[in-house]
Structure 1
Amino acid sequence: MNKTVLMKGVMCAFLTIALTACAAGQKSAEPGPSGGAADAEVKQPKPPEPVDITVFSINRTTEDAFNKQYGEAIRSKFPHVNLKVVVNGKGTGIPELIGSNTPIDILYGSVEGIFTNVIDYKLQYDITGLIQSRKYDLNKLEPSIVELQRKLSGGKLYGLPVWTATSGLFYNKDLFDKFGQPYPKEGMTWDELAELSKKMTRLEDGVQYYGYVTGPGAQMATNQLGLDPIDPVTMKSNFTSEPWKQFMQSIVDIYKASGLAYKADELDVAKSRAAFEKESRVAMYTNYSGGTPPETMNWDVVSVPSYKNAPGKGPQVYPNYWYVSGISKHKEAAFDIIAFLSSDEFQIPHNRKGYATVLKDEAIKKQYGQDMPKFKGKNVAAMFPKQPAPAMNYTPYVRNAQNVFQSAFQKHMLEGIDLNTVMREAAEQLDKQVMDAQGK
């Protein structure tokens, strides 16, 4: 073979090998896991698939109110979610939804709603696994609110809180100025309130002024001693027990300290509240459901007074919980929504709008209502008890107990029936209501 031809063949072969090696070298030199456009394309997460989520409002919140309070924020955070709300009402209750195979992914409402709208229809679902897999931090929540949910769920967790009711001793500053009395102070006892109420109760220029009014039923349902109105095991009323009689006596004593002979209208809860908020004839009023005086009143607030045998203990928490439905086909998506609603991202602005936070962060609590003019300069921190009383053992009949207790208070005050008798009759009435409800 010609030497020239041989050399050309060798050089071609060498060049081919070199080019192949070069190409291989270039390929191995492409960016690895640390960056690069090609890698970014591979690792780009897929957008979530669209999902339909139906929310059931236990407390009959209107759709418009739902959207303003929750819906707009949920849709903004989860654009892939097609959100629908069903409001509890005639023809749209849980039985009708189940009967028509309507999806239910989330249910929400006040604390006692778990029985009649979740557990009674076997819609509960333990979210403990989702809390772990989604790495949700329960420690950021107010511990007493988590404790109550565990009690409601039999040691499990069926839901997460989104907001809670505040409580406080509200007072009309103008009335205290008018009568030359010092304003209520932080850390008062109920005995001290009774003395102050007595000084502020008077008839002047034909107008009857009252030192203090309350809703005894609401006070019972959030009682600062952690008393159970119904034994959760026997389902019998506890109203004949000595602690409950003493609790009733403590409310009665404040009213009787004024020396007034009350009429029915003066003990009606709605009319008592109107006398405080609209007529400015009441100096002090305790609220346990998150309500506050109107903007037109010159008001402020201190913590609810405490009992000598439970110093510093505030009322029990009264939260609004959101539940993942046991029949939901989208439990993870439902949980993610609930987790978002109980996160700092949602809680901070929600709290500033006047929906009390469920987070334990004191700095966030102090921002309560600050986007609303009526809260400017008010002692809002007082509306979050530093030591909420231990949560009672809730039963489906707490609302019955509340109404019966309210009725017993009025009967004692108006008819003069002795306390032992009205509490015994209240217990009998409550027991009958429970037995009737259970079909016994």
Structure 2
Amino acid sequence: MNKLNKSWGYVLASLLVAVPVLAACTDSTESQDKERRTLRIGMLYGSKESESYYRQQMTDMFEVEHGNIDIEFVYGTDYSDMQFATEEERKKQQQQDPQENLRAVMSGDNPVDVVMTDIGSMKKLASDNLLKPLDDYIKQDKMDLSDFLPAVIDTIKAQGEGRIYGLSPTFSSNAIFYNKKLFANAKVEPPRDGMTWNELFALAQSMKSGKDKDAVYGFAFNNYGGGLSMYDAQSTVASFSQMRMFDTTGEKMTVHTKTWADAWSKPIQLYKDKVIPHAEDMQQSASMASSDGSYAYNPYQGNGFIGGKIAMVVGGYYMVNELINFNKNVSKMKNAQALEWDVVSMPQLDSGGSNGVYLGNLASINAKSVNPDDAWAFIKHMNSEEVAKFKARSQGELSVRQKFIQPKDGANYRIEAFTNVKVNTDELGDADQALYRERPNLNLISELGGYLFQEAAEGKKTVDEALAEWDSKGNELLQKIKLNPTGDLSSELQTYRDAAQSGMKNRLRAAAGEAVAIEE
């Protein structure tokens, strides 16, 4: 009995000693939870004027749940500084590397805790060991990623060499919208997932019919305005990084090639054949709709797809809201008819892969953060299921959580068309970005290409002639840019600008019924 009593005595003494220790730990934890702290969020661009939007989108709900944490936004490039800068200061700011400005706020005596980036920036920061991997936090808090869209998580891991350096609650996406009734009337099979651009173009040709007010166009790159740009054509052949305009030194053009000719030729031919509508076609169509004196206001006037004039069109997820809203209110618009529509995924590029899905709202932890646990608490909250319920209501983006990727308002369309493509990580390389910062006038090269593309599209030059002139004039311009990287060289393109402006005015006036001579 004495031994037993003695043993219980030791246990009791241990417990009495442990109680104060446990109490101290509890008090310390509670003190930590109640202590007022500041979480600093670093962003590439921004200003105080736009901060209310950022707070509504990202931090207000977090601050409600974490009343002791204050949010402070820090901008690598502050628009307010540029707004009040002198011309000389503005030129210097334009030559600054935005990524370096962001890195500056990630270091120093008071570094930011959270970094908001896109997928390309996240990759660069992670490769330079400037971000803290989130894998251990995810494992520790048993954060279930199984419901996250695999394409998004796989891409984040691929950019982080197998590790997760950032999470985003949403992504944006493009798809091909098509008019079901037009295809049924034409007895043509509608588009499908996995098509190539050449297959889609062939389908568009088969859907072109009629003329004037009865015209139906097979395809358009946008809802309003019609027309075709160099960047539209380029996006159907290869990624932007593969379609180089000049070499890595910025001294020799690289556009007079078969790759560029292929990128331009097919879309331009469809434009000439009016499979792709011209801007004046859309204006003429809108004018005819009200020429009989029965005009009534229609907020979608000029929208070729909603007006039943275009069989297929590239559109973002925001377009779903437009179509649903149109059909709900169609009875209020004179002569308007409800639209039967659906969507398929963006076509495959000739070079492989596809485009159309973008991650631009990734939250990461700065490796130099003095407050990484609060930073993780914010990222975890931002990507929680509770927040995802609200993000699912977004007008232009989709939740990365699959359970919330559902058709809106009971509409019947293939929501998977927006998820069946890979995340687009195409971007200029570091050397190219540095070259553009050093020589901002290099933007004149793409502007020149745009003018010459339009001349080819309008039949004033062949594709080969336009590319040859871009190559020749571009080489001259590159040398002048090398000598004068930031000065005013606008006069170099004035002739092209004047011709483009004059030609557009004449075409639009002709579409409106005015008698003008259009130079072809």
Query: Which aligned pairs between 1:273-312 and structure 2 lie closer than 5 A?
Result: 275-276=303-304, 279-287=307-315, 290-293=317-320, 294=322, 295=324, 296=326, 298=339, 299-307=341-349, 310=352
Alignment pair present for 1:315 and 2:343: no
Matched with 1:5 is none
Q: Distance in 2 between matches of 1:214 and 1:327?
A: 44
Contact 1:111–1:320, Cα closer than 8 Å, also in 2: yes
Q: The residue matched to 2:177 in structure 1 has which SS? A: strand
Task: Say which of 83, 89, 92 aligns to 2:71.
Answer: 83
Deviations 1:315-355 (A, max 9, x none): 16432044656886645544553454356664565346356
Q: Distance in 2 between matches of 1:220 and 1:32?
A: 77
Deviations 1:228-262 (A, max 9, x none): 144795457654443333223343344345468x6
Q: Distance in 1 between matches of 2:258 and 2:17?
A: 75
Matched with 2:405 is 368
Contact 2:183–2:189, Cα closer than 8 Å, also in 1: yes
Task: Label 1:339 to 1:357 Cα distance change in 2 as closer, same or farther (>3 A).
Answer: farther
Amino acid paired to 1:206? K
Q: Distance in 2 between matches of 1:266 and 1:86?
A: 47
Contact 2:119–2:156, Cα closer than 8 Å, also in 1: no
Contact 2:449–2:470, Cα closer than 8 Å, also in 1: yes
Query: Which aligned pairs between 1:7-406 and structure 2 lie closer than 5 A?
Result: 21=6, 24-25=9-10, 27-28=12-13, 30=15, 41-44=23-26, 45-46=29-30, 47-48=32-33, 49-55=35-41, 56=43, 58=45, 62-76=50-64, 78-85=66-73, 89-91=79-81, 106=114, 108=116, 126-131=129-134, 134=137, 141-147=152-158, 160-177=167-184, 181-203=188-210, 206-214=213-221, 216=229, 219=232, 225-228=238-241, 229-230=243-244, 233-234=248-249, 238-258=254-274, 263=278, 265=280, 275-276=303-304, 279-287=307-315, 290-293=317-320, 294=322, 295=324, 296=326, 298=339, 299-307=341-349, 310=352, 313-315=353-355, 317-322=357-362, 330=371, 333-334=374-375, 336-338=377-379, 340-342=381-383, 346-347=387-388, 349-351=390-392, 353=394, 356=397, 359=400, 364-365=401-402, 367-368=404-405, 370=407, 372-373=408-409, 376-387=411-422, 391-394=426-429, 395-396=432-433, 400=443, 406=450
Q: Distance in 2 between matches of 1:43 and 1:142?
A: 37
Q: The residue matched to 2:216 in structure 1 has which SS? A: strand
Q: CA RMSD in A?
A: 5.4
Q: The residue matched to 2:458 in structure 1 has which SS? A: helix
Q: Distance in 2 between matches of 1:426 and 1:267?
A: 29
Using the TM superposition, give the Cα deviation of residue 211 of structure 1 relative to its aligned residue in structure 2, in angstroms. 1.6
Q: Distance in 2 between matches of 1:366 and 1:182?
A: 31
Deviations 1:7-62 (A, max 9, x none): xxxxxxxxxx99994872451574999xxx87763543343443223444737794
Contact 2:204–2:219, Cα closer than 8 Å, also in 1: yes
Amino acid paired to 1:410? Q
Q: The residue matched to 1:255 in structure 2 has which SS? A: helix
Amino acid paired to 2:38? D
Q: The residue matched to 1:209 in structure 2 has which SS? A: coil
Q: Distance in 1 between matches of 2:7 and 2:189?
A: 91
Task: Label 1:333 to 1:426 Cα distance change in 2 as closer, same or farther (>3 A).
Answer: farther
Return the TM-score normalized by structure 1.
Answer: 0.66
Amino acid paired to 2:426? A
Task: Label 1:68 to 1:194 Cα distance change in 2 as closer, same or farther (>3 A).
Answer: same
Q: The residue matched to 2:79 in structure 1 has which SS? A: coil
Using the TM superposition, give the Cα deviation of residue 419 of structure 1 relative to its aligned residue in structure 2, in angstroms. 1.8
Deviation larger for 422-431 or 378-387: 422-431
Q: Distance in 2 between matches of 1:29 and 1:331?
A: 35
Contact 1:223–1:316, Cα closer than 8 Å, also in 2: no
Deviations 1:38-97 (A, max 9, x none): 776354334344322344473779444333322233324544321244785334789799
Q: Distance in 2 between matches of 1:273 and 1:223?
A: 28
Q: The residue matched to 2:12 in structure 1 has which SS? A: helix
Higher helix share: 2
Unaligned runs of 5+ in 2: 86-92, 94-100, 223-228, 287-299, 328-338, 488-520
Q: The residue matched to 1:306 in structure 2 has which SS? A: coil
Count of residues in correspondence between the two structures = 400
Deviations 1:128-183 (A, max 9, x none): 44436645799974333554578xxxx99986545332121112334445655443
Q: The residue matched to 1:213 in structure 2 has which SS? A: coil
Q: The residue matched to 1:82 in structure 2 has which SS? A: strand
Q: Distance in 1 between matches of 2:115 and 2:482?
A: 28
Return the TM-score normalized by structure 2.
Answer: 0.58
Contact 1:170–1:302, Cα closer than 8 Å, also in 2: yes
Amino acid paired to 1:419? V
Q: The residue matched to 2:304 in structure 1 has which SS? A: helix
Q: The residue matched to 1:210 in structure 2 has which SS? A: coil
Amino acid paired to 2:220? V
Amino acid paired to 1:276? G
